[in-house]
Structure formats: C-alpha cells, structure tokens
C-alpha cells in the first residue's frame, strides 16, 4: 500500500527550479503584508471579487455552472439555488466562507475533511456527502476528439480511510518538525489527496479547498485576494498535464512530485504578482500628489493591454470601481473614439485604439 514520508520527499524537491519558486513566493508574501498595511482599503474589494471567481472557476472545472447574475446572487446569499448545479455552487460558497473565516481553527484531520465534504453537498439530497467513497473509482481524461481513457486508478475504497489518515498524520508530523517548507507540504498533500480520490464525487473541488486551507494555515493568504481556482482554470491543460506526470508510479511509491509541485507553486506566484499589480494601481489612484480619476484608471488598463478586455476583466483588475462606472466609462470612451468594441453579448471585448 502507498506510504507517505513528506520530510524525505520534501528534501528531494529542493532543486534550483523549486527553490527559486519558493524564494520568490516568500518575498512576495512579505510585499503583500506591507501593501495591506499601507492600503487596508484594498482588501475588501479584492476579497469580494476573489470569492465569486473562486466559486465560479472551481465548479466550472467540473462542468458545474450558472449565469453570472445568478452566481453573484448565490455567492452573496441573496438568492436560493434552484437546480442541482446551483446547489453545488452554494455548497462551495459555504465551505469557502468557512475556510476564509475560520481556517485557524480547522486542523487537517480525516474527520474535518469529511465535515467539509458534507458541507460541500449540504444543499443537495445526495446521500454520500460526508462519507468516504463506497465504490472504486477511476480518473478519466478525454482527448481533443472526445475519446476517454483512464489516466489513473486510485486505491480501492477499502484502503481509502487508512490512506487519508496516514497522509494527514505524516503532514502534521512534518509540519511540526519544521524541516520542510510549508508550501511544499501543501503541494504534496494536495497531490496525494487527489490521487487517493477519496470521495464518490467532489474530489477536485475538495482538493482546491484544501489547498486554500493549508496555505492560509501556513500564513499564505493570497487566495483570499486573488482566486487560485481561477488561475488553475485558466491553465487547466497544464494542470492536468502536471497531475498526469506526477501520478506515474504513485501506487508503487516511485512517483515524482516535482511536476505538480512546481505547477502549483507557479500558480501561487502568479497570484502574488497579480496582487502586486492591483495594489500598485490602487496606490497610484489614491496618491494625494497625483490623484487619478476612475475614468483614467480604466483608460490606462485598456491602454496597457495588448489583448481585448471584457467588462469582467476590467472589474477583476479594478475591483474597487463599480460595474456601472465601468459601463459608463466604456460608453464615453467609445463615443470619444478612444476604444473599439469587439463582439457582442457575453463575448463583448474592448480594445484601446491608443496603446501606451
């Protein structure tokens, strides 16, 4: 049966590539703490946008979705779910909120994982919520032609409780020893959780929620402000490739964690860099010596992008500016002939005619 030794595995991961990623994240974490002290008003709008994006992206990876309007209403708890997809979206919202608000009191234990899984499906009638899988499962992937193949066969349902307990125990042991960087521990545990595939459904969403939980408990709260799930969805093909590369030999204890660990560290670093960019925008806009109007900030974002941007893209970058202000500004810029509108409906994008 699979065994876990995170201290030994962590030492084997300390290649120049991985160490460089770790150092860059450590430095970015320090910058984030400073930026939040300088601009405390930055936090709230970023948190609001990240919660919506995280709930949307993590579910959409699994083929679960609703309209943008309904999504915003569900995340803000202003509307009740009205179908199966929305029930599962509401469950993700609940668990995400629990982790955001109470992570310091949520230890990594098997019974805690079961409770989080139960809450993930609390709005559905599904009876397997909060229970380990009772049948064996497979991880299947499809190629571009729609042909499915088995990528990995997880351990049996009978082995699942013992494997989860062993992984949790070794994670806690390695964490207490302080001999392994907590970022590496998070990446390795989340990967092993994904390989065990302990539930009948919800394994992918639980892996991403546990990623946030372990990051927060280790002092890396970037997922509160920039959606880790959204970045994973944007790099979905690379995500699956990294998983596939690291699963080879997993059942025989010969797998290489590096492909997945470096992928996830890369995602975390991108999140910190996006935070830096948004903090810089906000800091510039509130400078008493050089105040910048909201219209100018929107104009600058369009002028700095080589790719057409949607209203949602602009809102994501400038979370403190309301949607109505963005819409009004885009209309003004169109009337002034400074930007061009591409597409229509949900595909609408805007591009500057005067790139900076």
Find the mean pLDDT for residues 7-29. Answer: 97
Answer for the pair 355, 303: CB distance below 8 angstroms, yes or no. Answer: yes
Answer for the pair 326, 311: CB distance below 8 angstroms, yes or no. Answer: yes
Write the pLDDT tens digit of every residue in 322-346: 888 999 999 899 888 888 889 988 7
**Collapsing DSSP states into helix, strand and coil, what is residue 24?**
helix
Beta strands in the chain (DSSP E): 139-142, 148-152, 339-342, 349-352
pLDDT for 282: 63
Neighbours of 283 (CB within 10 A): 13
Whether pLDDT at 349 is above 80: yes
DSSP 54: H
Residue 228 Cα to chain centre, angstroms = 2
pLDDT for 79: 95
* Per-residue confidence band for 146, with pLDDT thresholds at 50, 70 and 90: low
| pTM for the predicted model, two decimal places | 0.85
More confident residue, 305 or 246: 246
pLDDT for 144: 57
Find the mean pLDDT for residues 208-222. Answer: 97
More confident residue, 251 or 142: 251
Distance CA 172, CA 241 (A): 28
pLDDT for 143: 57
Q: Which of 212-221, 276-285, 298-307 has the highest mean pLDDT?
A: 212-221
pLDDT for 125: 95
Range scoring the smallest mean pLDDT among 14-18, 36-40, 117-121, 212-216? 36-40
Sketch the domain layout of the chain as residue ranges.
6-281, 293-352
Rg of the chain's alpha carbons, rounded to an integer?
22
Out of 3.30.450.40, 1.10.1370.30, 1.10.10.10, 1.10.287.130, select the CATH number for domain 293-352.
1.10.10.10
* Per-residue confidence band for 254, with pLDDT thresholds at 50, 70 and 90: very high
| Residues above pLDDT 90, as percent of the chain | 69
In words, the CATH class of domain 6-281 is mainly alpha
pLDDT for 73: 94
Matching residue, tokens 């001999």: 179
| Residues above pLDDT 70, as percent of the chain | 94
More confident residue, 298 or 107: 107
pLDDT for 313: 83
Write the pLDDT tens digit of every residue in 149-189: 777 899 999 999 999 999 999 999 999 999 999 999 999 99
Write the pLDDT tens digit of every residue in 20-37: 999 999 999 999 999 888
Whether pLDDT at 200 is above 90: yes
Whether pLDDT at 266 is above 60: yes
pLDDT for 295: 84
Distance CA 243, CA 195 (A): 9
**H or E segment at 23?**
helix 16-38
Q: Is 286 exposed, middle or buried (0-12, 13-18, 19+ CB in 10 A)?
A: middle
Find the mean pLDDT for residues 198-220. Answer: 97
More confident residue, 319 or 315: 315
pLDDT for 291: 57
pLDDT for 285: 54
pLDDT for 248: 95
Whether pLDDT at 305 is above 90: no
């Amino acid at each position: 049966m699979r065994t876990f030794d995170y201290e030994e595995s962590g030492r084997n991961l300390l290649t120049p590539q991985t160490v460089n990623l770790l150092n860059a994240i450590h430095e970015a974490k320090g910058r984030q703490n400073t930026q939040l002290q300088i601009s405390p008003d930055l936090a709230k709008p970023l948190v609001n946008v990240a919660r919506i994006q995280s709930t949307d992206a993590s579910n959409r990876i699994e083929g679960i979705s609703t309209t943008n309007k309904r999504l915003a209403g569900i995340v803000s708890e202003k509307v009740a779910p009205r179908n199966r997809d929305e029930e599962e979206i509401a469950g993700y919202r609940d668990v995400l909120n629990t982790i955001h608000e109470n992570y310091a009191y949520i230890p990594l234990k098997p019974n805690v994982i079961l409770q989080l899984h139960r809450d993930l499906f609390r709005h559905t009638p599904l009876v397997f919520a909060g229970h380990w899988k009772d049948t064996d499962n497979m991880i299947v992937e499809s190629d571009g032609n729609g042909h499915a193949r088995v990528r990995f066969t997880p351990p049996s349902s009978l082995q699942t409780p013992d494997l989860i307990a062993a992984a949790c125990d070794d994670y806690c042991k390695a964490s207490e020893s302080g001999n392994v960087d907590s970022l590496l521990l998070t990446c390795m545990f989340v990967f092993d959780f994904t390989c065990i595939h302990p539930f009948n459904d919800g394994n992918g969403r639980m892996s991403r929620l546990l990623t946030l939980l372990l990051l927060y408990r280790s002092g890396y709260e970037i997922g509160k402000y920039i959606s880790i799930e959204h970045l994973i969805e944007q790099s979905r093909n690379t995500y699956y490739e990294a998983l596939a590369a690291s699963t080879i030999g997993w059942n025989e204890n010969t797998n290489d964690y590096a492909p997945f660990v470096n992928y996830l560290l890369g995602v975390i670093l991108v999140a910190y860099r996006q935070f830096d960019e948004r903090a810089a925008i906000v800091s510039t806009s509130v400078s008493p010596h050089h105040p910048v109007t909201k219209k100018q900030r929107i104009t600058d974002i369009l002028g700095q992008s080589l790719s057409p941007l949607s209203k949602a893209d602009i809102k994501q970058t400038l979370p403190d500016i309301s949607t109505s202000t963005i819409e009004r500004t885009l209309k003004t810029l169109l009337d002034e002939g400074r930007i061009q509108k591409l597409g229509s409906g949900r595909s609408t994008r805007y591009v500057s005619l005067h790139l900076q």
